[in-house]
């Protein structure tokens, strides 16, 4: 057998090499094992968020720049993104606060308008689908109900959904699905509330575990059923990993188990990979998806691209190795400041565009993301693996066509030698300092 390696080094340069396997001769040290006979979860795919902000910046790109970005993300020969996340009404990464229907007297939602979604989000979605050559699977997420439905009478700074508006809010969410579907888009899932524990200066709303359980069971699911929709998956939590098991434990019971497809999580509070293990152990039938992941410029230095990319790749490998079924990056495109964002909560994105210079920047994190999305295909199954040191992060997968692929991350300042053991053969590889490597093993 042989392994074709693709390495991005500390300078961001991509190189390729081939390593020929030799018979495994009882090597004991510096070993990375791959066991094809032990298989775990399937991966549904990779994707990112098409936000109002991303759509606005996309509208400012030249046709050549648009094509470059779309090709990298959605062309199957590149990253092959097959799924996207879209916000319901505005979020912080919107050009302004907006609601599809702000009329408290409009009980039947007769004034519901899709105009804000159509302005920037739909053109980017259309262009992405055209480049992909297929419909993208859409996940919808709400940041806040309309202001009049909330206890604080505002889209921002938390507040809660008033009990008397739970049915109308369920109808409102259904209406979003209907508006997308009647235009021919494929909405396949929904998270009930983005970051339900966070009181933010931008669009936010508090949902306790009991709130989420009751709203899903007594209002949201029945409303979708009344409208004849049974093929939208509902995901709970959609917040950080440190409480992901507790939310699953407190919401999933005999009355909700059949309504909940899985649990969505974010990465902002730290690794907590063991929390994913707990969900896997106690709710093995539920999917685990990372629904949002990015580097906030108020937390991470924009110039430290290598360190930031390594943080993201380390988290990616940890999530994959602890049961993740799907990944959604946050904004796929922003301006040079990390916006627009109506409250200045600027963040990094794989592509940044300087609106003044008209220059599209290919960020280091995109080069790292490529190593995952290009090699690990939708419906790939994770293979058991072991590593000899925590200086390296390592994950291995078997693609639908049978190829075995792996990703190897070295976050140290030293070269790390390894022997990858697979199928009775030994592949001797060296990981350069601060590098990421992907490999395809050919039989």
263-306 pLDDT tens trace: 999 999 999 999 999 999 999 999 999 999 999 999 999 999 99
Rounded Cα–Cα distance for residues 316 and 305 (Å): 16
Distance in angstroms (rounded) separating the CA atoms of residues 253 and 276: 18
Mean pLDDT of the chain: 98
Q: What is the pLDDT of residues 10-54, one digit of tens each?
A: 999 999 999 999 999 889 999 999 999 999 999 999 999 999 999
Select from 323, 251, 247, 246 the least CA-distant residue to 290: 323
- At which residue do the structure tokens 């565009």 appear? 353
Exposure string of 326-340, with b = 16+ CB inside 10 Å and e = fewer, is: bbbbbbbbbbbebbb
Q: What tens digit of pLDDT does each residue of 158-180 get?
A: 999 999 999 999 999 999 999 99
CA distance 121 to 146: 19
Q: Taking 90 as the threshold, does the pLDDT of residue 72 lie above it?
A: yes
Sorted by sequence, the CB contacts under 8 Å of residue 254 that are 6+ apart come out as: none
**What does pTM read for this prediction?**
0.98
- Cβ neighbours of residue 376 closer than 8 Å, sequence gap 6 or more: 43, 46, 320, 397, 399, 405, 407
Predicted pLDDT at 26: 85
Handedness of CA 379, 248, 179, 229 (dihedral sign): positive
pLDDT at 16: 98
**What is the Cα–Cα distance from 377 to 213, expressed in whole angstroms?**
34
What does the pLDDT look like over 306-351, one tens digit per residue? 999 999 999 999 999 999 999 999 999 999 999 999 999 999 999 9
Containing H/E element for 35? strand 31-42
Q: CA-CA distance, 166 to 145, in Å (whole number)?
A: 10
How many other C-beta atoms can be found within 10 angstroms of the C-beta atom of residue 178?
Answer: 16
Distance separating alpha carbons of residues 173 and 219, to the nearest angstrom = 11
Neighbours of 10 (CB within 10 A): 12
**pLDDT the model gives residue 152:** 98
pLDDT for res 408:
99
Whether the Cβ atoms of residue 155 and residue 203 lie closer than 8 Å to each other: yes
**Which residue segments constitute the domains of the chain, with CATH numbers given?**
2-40+383-442 (2.60.40.1180), 44-375 (3.20.20.80)
Q: Which of 137, 234, 231 is nearest to 190 (CA)?
A: 234
What distance separates the 2 farthest-apart alpha carbons in the chain?
A: 77
């Amino acid at each position: 057998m042989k392994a074709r390696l693709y390495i991005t080094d500390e300078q961001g340069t991509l190189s390729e090499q081939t390593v020929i396997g030799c018979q495994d001769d009882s090597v004991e040290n510096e070993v990375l094992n791959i066991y094809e006979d032990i298989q775990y979860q399937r991966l549904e795919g990779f994707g990112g968020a098409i936000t109002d902000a991303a759509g606005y910046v996309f509208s400012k790109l030249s046709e050549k720049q648009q094509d470059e970005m779309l090709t990298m993300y959605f062309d199957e020969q590149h990253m092959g993104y097959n799924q996207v996340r879209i916000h319901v009404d505005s979020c912080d990464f919107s050009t302004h606060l907006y609601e599809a229907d702000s009329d408290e007297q409009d009980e039947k939602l007769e004034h519901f308008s899709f105009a804000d979604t159509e302005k920037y989000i739909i053109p980017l979605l259309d262009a992405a689908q055209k480049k992909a050559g297929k419909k993208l699977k859409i996940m919808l997420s709400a940041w806040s109900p309309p202001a009049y439905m909330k206890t604080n009478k505002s889209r921002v700074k938390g507040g809660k959904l008033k009990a008397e508006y739970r049915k109308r809010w369920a109808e409102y969410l259904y209406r979003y699905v209907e508006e997308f579907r009647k235009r021919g888009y494929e909405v396949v899932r929904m998270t009930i509330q983005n970051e339900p524990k966070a009181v933010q200066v931008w669009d936010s709303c508090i949902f306790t575990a009991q709130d989420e359980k009751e709203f899903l069971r007594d209002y949201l699911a029945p409303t979708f059923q009344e409208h004849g929709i049974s093929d939208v998956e509902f995901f709970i939590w959609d917040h950080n990993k440190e409480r992901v098991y507790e939310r699953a434990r407190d919401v999933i019971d005999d009355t909700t188990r059949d309504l909940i497809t899985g649990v969505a999580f974010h990465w902002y509070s730290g690794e907590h990979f063991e929390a994913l293990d707990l969900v896997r152990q106690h709710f093995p039938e539920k999917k685990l998806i990372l629904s949002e992941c990015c580097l906030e410029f108020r937390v991470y230095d924009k110039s430290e691209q290598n360190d930031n990319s390594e943080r993201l790749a380390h988290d990616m490998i940890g999530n994959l190795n602890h049961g993740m079924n799907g990944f959604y990056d946050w904004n796929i495109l922003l301006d040079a400041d990390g916006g627009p964002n109506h409250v200045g909560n600027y963040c990094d994105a794989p592509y940044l565009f300087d609106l003044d210079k008209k220059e599209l920047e290919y960020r280091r994190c995109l080069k790292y993301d490529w190593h995952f999305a290009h090699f690990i295909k939708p419906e790939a199954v994770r293979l058991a693996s072991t590593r000899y040191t925590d200086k390296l992060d390592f994950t291995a997968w078997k693609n639908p066509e049978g190829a075995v692929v792996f990703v190897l991350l070295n976050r140290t300042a030293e070269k790390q030698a390894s022997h990858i053991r697979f199928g009775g053969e030994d592949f001797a590889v060296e990981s350069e300092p601060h590098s990421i490597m992907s490999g395809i093993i050919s039989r």
